[in-house]
């Protein structure tokens, strides 16, 4: 079979992270120690070889980078310090840009300026929009009791815009949430379809049995919820952190986008109410991962944290600011501080919106979707290989 070689592929890939492509001389140690290595799925050497040889089309059809959870064993045992685990992380960034038809993912990953400018423009736009409608500062300070619920003593979170009652304000925010969710979902789904095209449809080496699309479909939900491949890694703490992050974010996203009228209400419920319990769990999950990752990237003791791409830090900073401002809103409401509550609420949205618009379809959060789909697609390929092997044995027997 003939494959087109892209001589500039290694140079292009360097913009996405790792710089040690030429250090790997394919001794096979990484493949030998990787717990994910199976027949036809040789981690991570096959992916590195494709990158070194400039096989861009083959790399685009390769699912291996998504099946790697960067336990670090391959990088620890590499005699050349090529850090194959980080190379796989670089390939995940690259693959995200391959699936993205808008080209924005590549811009965000390869240029800090693009991502920072996008964040700042969105931040300023949201603050400016609320600045037009927000209750005058002097009114918030001089008539504080006007914005506090008499029965609970907490701040009326939905009364920050004069002329709108609580129901009207929540409805406007809900429409904004749903619009943003529709945009993000459309981008992510279209990118997943491109992932399917590159890895299954365009890969002529496999022919997936039609029934496999249904028999293997359960893999999607199972792998999204439990991330079972993490169990093969020795470091279970990272699996816990990743699970808390994923579950915390999914809960918070679902509550804010799908259940906002029930979640953002004027009444302050007791701590054991479902609303607050879900909020506390999501907050704990996000904080655990943020603190764990920041400490790891500062200390650089674990192999997975020795190298940090700009997108890694921007993700943690944006997620941290979103979480901290959310916590402050909660405590300012309970403390009966309307001015602080409203100002932090606006800042919270000004950070949250650009983070979701960037991270979900174009960057880190998209990995939560690509990983389970990669497992699903890899199962489809295994079913195809199994069918081909059976047909080959049948032909020999005949």
| 11, pLDDT greater than 80 | yes
The predicted structure's pLDDT at residue 121: 95
- Residue in this structure with the two tokens 């991270």, named with its chain if needed: 359
Higher pLDDT, 190 or 175: 190
What does pTM read for this prediction? 0.88
222 pLDDT band (50/70/90 cuts)?
A: confident
The predicted structure's pLDDT at residue 235: 67
Residues 6 or more apart whose Cβ sits within 8 Å of residue 278 = 251, 255
What one-character-per-residue DSSP string does 214-240 give?
HHTTHHHHHHHHH-GGGGGSS-HHHHH
- Model confidence pLDDT, tens digit, residues 106-123: 999 999 899 999 999 999
Higher pLDDT, 235 or 276: 276
223 contacts 66 by C-beta, under 8 angstroms:
no
| DSSP annotation of 212 | H
| 134, pLDDT greater than 70 | no
Residue 51: CB atoms within 10 A of its CB come to 25
Sorted by where each starts, the structural domains of the chain and their CATH numbers stand as: 9-99 (1.10.1060.10), 104-380 (no CATH)
347 pLDDT band (50/70/90 cuts)?
A: very high
Higher pLDDT, 130 or 298: 298
The predicted structure's pLDDT at residue 306: 85
- For residue 38, give the 3-state DSSP assignment: strand
The predicted structure's pLDDT at residue 28: 84
CA torsion through residues 341, 346, 352, 355, sign: negative
The predicted structure's pLDDT at residue 97: 95
The predicted structure's pLDDT at residue 243: 82
The predicted structure's pLDDT at residue 21: 67
The predicted structure's pLDDT at residue 394: 55
The predicted structure's pLDDT at residue 108: 93
240 pLDDT band (50/70/90 cuts)?
A: confident
131 pLDDT band (50/70/90 cuts)?
A: confident
- Model confidence pLDDT, tens digit, residues 370-398: 999 999 998 898 888 887 777 666 566 55
């Amino acid at each position: 079979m003939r494959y087109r070689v892209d001589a500039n592929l290694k140079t292009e890939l360097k913009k996405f992270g790792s710089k040690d492509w030429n250090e790997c001389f394919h001794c096979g140690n990484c493949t030998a120690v990787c717990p994910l290595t199976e027949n036809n799925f040789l981690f991570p050497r096959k992916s590195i070889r494709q990158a070194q040889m400039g096989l861009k089309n083959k790399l685009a059809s390769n699912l291996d980078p998504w099946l790697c959870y960067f336990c670090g064993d391959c990088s620890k045992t590499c005699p050349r310090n090529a850090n194959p685990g980080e190379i796989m992380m670089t390939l995940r960034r690259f693959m995200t840009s391959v699936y993205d038809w808008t080209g924005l993912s590549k811009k965000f990953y390869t240029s800090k300026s693009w991502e920072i400018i996008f964040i700042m423009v969105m931040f300023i736009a949201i603050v400016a929009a609320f600045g037009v409608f927000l209750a005058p500062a002097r009114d918030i300070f001089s008539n504080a009791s006007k914005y506090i619920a008499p029965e609970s003593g907490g701040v009326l979170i939905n009364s920050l815009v004069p002329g709108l009652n609580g129901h009207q304000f929540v409805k406007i925010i809900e429409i904004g949430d749903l619009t943003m969710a529709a945009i993000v979902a459309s981008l992510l789904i279209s990118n997943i379809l491109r992932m399917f095209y590159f890895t299954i449809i365009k890969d002529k080496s496999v022919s997936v049995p039609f029934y496999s699309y249904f028999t293997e479909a359960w893999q999607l939900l199972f792998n999204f919820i439990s991330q079972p491949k993490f169990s093969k890694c020795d470091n279970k703490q990272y699996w816990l952190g990743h699970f808390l992050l994923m579950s915390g974010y999914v809960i918070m996203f679902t509550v804010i986008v799908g259940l906002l009228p029930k979640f953002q209400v004027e009444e302050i419920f007791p701590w054991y109410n479902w609303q607050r319990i879900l909020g506390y769990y999501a907050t704990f999950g996000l904080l655990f991962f943020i603190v764990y990752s920041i400490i790891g990237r500062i200390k650089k003791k674990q192999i997975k944290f020795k190298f940090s791409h700009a997108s890694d830090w921007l993700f943690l900073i944006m997620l941290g600011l979103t979480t901290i401002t959310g916590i402050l809103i909660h405590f300012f409401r309970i403390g009966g501080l309307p001015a602080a509550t409203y100002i932090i609420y606006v800042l919270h949205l000004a950070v949250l919106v650009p983070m979701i618009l960037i991270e979900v379809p174009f960057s880190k959060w998209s990995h939560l979707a690509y990983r389970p789909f990669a497992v699903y697609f890899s199962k489809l390929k295994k079913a195809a290989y199994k069918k081909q092997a059976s047909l080959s044995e049948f032909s020999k027997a005949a």
